[in-house]
Each structure stands twice: as structure tokens, then as C-alpha cells.
Amino acid sequence: MRLSRVLLMVVLFVSVRLCAQDWNGGEQLTSDERAEKFIQKMNESVPFKKAKKDSVILVFKTFYDELQLYNTAQNKEVIKVLTQKRDNNVKQILANDELYSKYIQYMEDLRLKRQKEMEQYRNNGQQNMRQPGGGGMNNGMRRPGGF
């Protein structure tokens, strides 16, 4: 009897620990890694030369550091200021190139893509709320027993 209780507690503990892990394996990307990854992806549309690529990575690293430093999670005004600062720094690096216009176009396309995804997310949430039974997380399905 005691053994089964101990085993049950171990299983519960392990399952709770597994469920509590972050989706990305428990590791947060550093600002360096985030900047590098983002610029690598951008490099497919905006082909940077090595020196300019390194400089733009540094600008984005600083941008990500400042986002974290000022804890900008819901502060749109601070995000706007930091974004303008980032874009001005990139403009100085790419000033004599046509790459800056490609950069601006890439960033605008990315913004529109994210905006469209958010609208779809909101629309899906509203559709769930219109379903019989109230919608929400369980899509209108009720548990037996009234829970």
C-alpha cells in the first residue's frame, strides 16, 4: 500500500515537472541568439554583405536588450520609440545602399503578416464564443456533472 502511494506521488511529481517545461525545451534565447536568428532569416530577402550583416546584428541585439531592460511587454509607446531608434540605426548602416528600402519592405511585410495572424486569432476566439454553450477554452463542451 505504501509502495503504491510512493509510486503515485513520484509519477505525479514527474508529470507536473514535465508539463511545467517551456515549449522551447526550457531555454530562452539570448538577445545575441535572437538577433542572429532574425538576421539570418532576413538575409534571405535582404542580402547583406558580411560587415553590414554584423553591424545590423549588433543593432538588433541592442534592440532586444532594450526591450528586456525596459520590460516593454504591453507598453506600445516604448516599443515604438525603440523600434524607431533601431530603424534609424539600420538606416545609418545601409544609407548608401538600396538594401534599406528592402529592409523597410521586409519589416512592413512582417508587420502585416503578424497583424493578419492576430486578426485570425481574434476571429477564431470570437467564433468560439458564439458557439452554443458559451464557447471559451472548451469550445462549448460541458463536462458531465456540471463542472
Q: Please provide the DSSP assignment of 80-135 as one string.
A: HHHHHHHHHHHHHHTTTSTHHHHHHHHHHHHHHHHHHHHHHHHHHHHHHHHSTT--
85-120: pLDDT as tens digits: 999 999 999 887 788 889 999 999 999 999 999 888
pLDDT at position 61 is 96
pLDDT at position 99 is 86
Decide if 103 contacts 43 (C-beta within 8 A): no
| 19, 41, 124, 132 from 46: Cα distances, Å | 39, 9, 33, 48
Average pLDDT per block of 10 residues along the chain, 147 residues long: 68 59 64 92 88 93 90 81 93 86 92 91 72 54 53
pLDDT at position 71 is 76
Decide if 72 contacts 79 (C-beta within 8 A): yes
pLDDT at position 8 is 63
pLDDT at position 147 is 47
What are the domain boundaries of the chain? 28-128
pLDDT at position 111 is 92
